[in-house]
Amino acid sequence: MSKTIKIGIAAGRKYDNYVKWLSRSPGVEIVKLGYEENNLSAVASCRGIVMTGGEDVHPKLYGQPKYLEQYRLDDINEARDEFEMKVLAVAHKKRLPLLGICRGLQITNVFLGGTLVPDIVAFGRTDHTRQQEGVDRQHAIWLKENTLLGEITGTVRGEVNSAHHQAIDQLGEGLSMNSVSPDGVIEGAEVRDQDNHPFLMLVQWHPERMLEQESPFSKKLREAFVDAVLKHV
């Protein structure tokens, strides 16, 4: 890689994991974005954005404030929500390549007008949370035909890690599902019109901490994102 490219990472839990993972690609300069830094203006210097994992998205943002008490959602950070919705607004306006991971998938879907399942188990699905601190669950996913994710990974089935209790319910505007777990949970989404957006990929798993970093669901995903950023510079 001959160019140095700035990629903004939305700061959250285990932020260093994302930095280490993305830095496996040479020539990447990381810009930490966060409400604590109060640096929304830094997005202007970024050529790509990674939205990371962490707290639940406040359900009022997708029109279901009652979910807060109904599903006892107590892992909420409204300051982070507010800041990241602004980051997404700038990224969307500038058409920046964007990769959303776990919460990043969820808040991006909400930004685009979609909704969330507030608690997967309460909605009749199997448990997708981590088994214990530092140990993710593992499960299969199936990829839909004719998707960018399928093109990137070169497969129709894979094994991914899992550490979440919320998921996409209704897809946001312009998104299409690209992968699903055996119990029907949407595991990934991407922009439907690839010709009018350089790259918008949302995944529910954590590629940055997969045990097998050579997995196409980690390595090839990272390489495809960085390549999209390079082409967009």
Residues whose CB falls within 8 Å of the CB of residue 196, separated by 6 or more in sequence, listed in order: none
Q: How far is CA 58 from the centre of its chain?
A: 16
Tokens standing for residue 118: 């507030």
- Active-site residue, selected from the candidate residues 46, 58, 102, 165: 102
Catalytic residue flag (residue 46)? no
Token pair of 17 as six digits: 């994991």
CB atoms within 10 A of CB 55: 17
Known catalytic residue at 197: no
Going by C-beta distance under 8 Å and a sequence separation of 6 or more, which residues neighbour residue 108?
Answer: 51, 88, 98, 100, 172, 200, 202
Q: Is 102 an annotated catalytic residue?
A: yes
* Of the candidates 94, 92, 116, 121, the residue with the CA atom closest to the CA atom of residue 105: 116
Sign of CA dihedral 227, 109, 192, 42: negative
Query: How far is Cα 56 from Cα 64, in angstroms, rounded to an integer?
Result: 13
Listed residue (145, 193, 151) closest to 173, CA to CA:
193
Residues recognised as catalytic = 102, 206, 208
